[in-house]
Amino acid sequence: MKQKDKNGQKRILIIEDEQYLRELYQEILEDEGFIIETASDGMDGYVKMAKGGYDLILLDVMLPRMDGLELLAKLRKGPKPKKTNGPIVLLTNLSKDMAISKGKTLGISGYLIKSDLTPGEIIEKVKGYLKIKI
Amino acid sequence: MAEISINSHYFLGKLTIIRNCLSLLAKDKSPERKKLVKMAYDTNQELIDQVKEAAKNV
C-alpha cells in the first residue's frame, strides 16, 4: 500500500465496489500523479476513512456491507479521524438520486454522476475538488 | 414488444464501465478503429439514456 508521499502528492481514496470502474479510476488518476488507495466495500472504506489523511474521498452510494450513506452517518457519530480528511464526493449514476440530498446533510462536498462523465472529465472534476489548476 | 425489468443501478454501472473504456480507446489514432469505437460509444450512450429515462418513471 502506498503511503503519503514526501513530494506532497495528493492522496485520494476511492470507495467503489465495481471492480473495473475502481481500477479504471485508479489507473487514470495514478497517471495524473495522485496516490490512490481503494476500498471495495463500505466497511473497508469506513476503516480507511476513520484513519484519515486523504485529500479527497470518492465514495460510491451503493456498496456491500455498509452503503455510502451509512458510512457517512457512522463516521459522523464516531470519533474524529486520526488525520483530517479532505472533501468527500459522492459517486452515483443518477442525477436525481435521493442519496445526493441525504449526503449533503451528512457533509459531502459534492457528487459526480458516473454515467455522465468520461475519464478526462473525472480527472478535471477531481482536480477541481483538489483546487488544482487545469 | 417484450419488456424487460432491470435494476437501473446495476445496468448503469456496467454501461458506465463500457463508456469509460470506449472513451479511452477513442484516443487511438487509427481512423477505422476510431469510427468503430465511436459507433460502440454512441450505442452505449443510447442505452445509458434509455435506462436513465426508465429510472425516472419508476
pLDDT digits (tens, 9 = 90+) for A3-31: 455 568 999 999 999 999 999 999 999 99
B13, B21, B56 member nearest A93 (Cβ) = B13
**How distant, in Å, are the alpha carbons of A95, B51, B54 from that of B3?**
24, 13, 12
Report how many Cβ contacts below 8 Å link chain A to chain B.
41
**Which residues make beta-bridge pairs with A58?**
A14, A89
Instruction: With a cut of 60, say whether residue B37 has pLDDT above it.
Output: yes
Whole-structure pTM value: 0.88
**How distant, in Å, are the alpha carbons of A19, A26, A66 from that of A45?**
14, 15, 9
Q: What is the DSSP string of B10-57?
A: HHHHHHHHHHHHHHHHTT---HHHHHHHHHHHHHHHHHHHHHHHHHHT
Question: Rounded to an integer, what distance in angstroms lies between the CA atom of residue A5 and that of residue A54?
Answer: 12
A94, A96, A119 member nearest B24 (Cβ) = A119
pLDDT digits (tens, 9 = 90+) for A95-104: 777 899 999 9
Q: Which three cell numbers mark A29?
A: 488518476
Q: What is the ipTM of this complex?
A: 0.78
| Residue range A42-60: mean pLDDT, rounded | 97
**Residues in A touching B16 (Cβ below 8 Å):** 21, 93, 114-115
| The pLDDT value given to residue A7 | 67
A120 touches chain B (CB under 8 A): yes
Contact A93 B8 (CB under 8 A): yes
User: Domains in chain A, start-ordered, CATH in brackets?
Assistant: 11-126 (3.40.50.2300)
Q: What is the DSSP string of A30-94?
A: HHTT-EEEEESSHHHHHHHHHHB--SEEEEESS-SSS-HHHHHHHHHHSPPPSB----EEEEES-
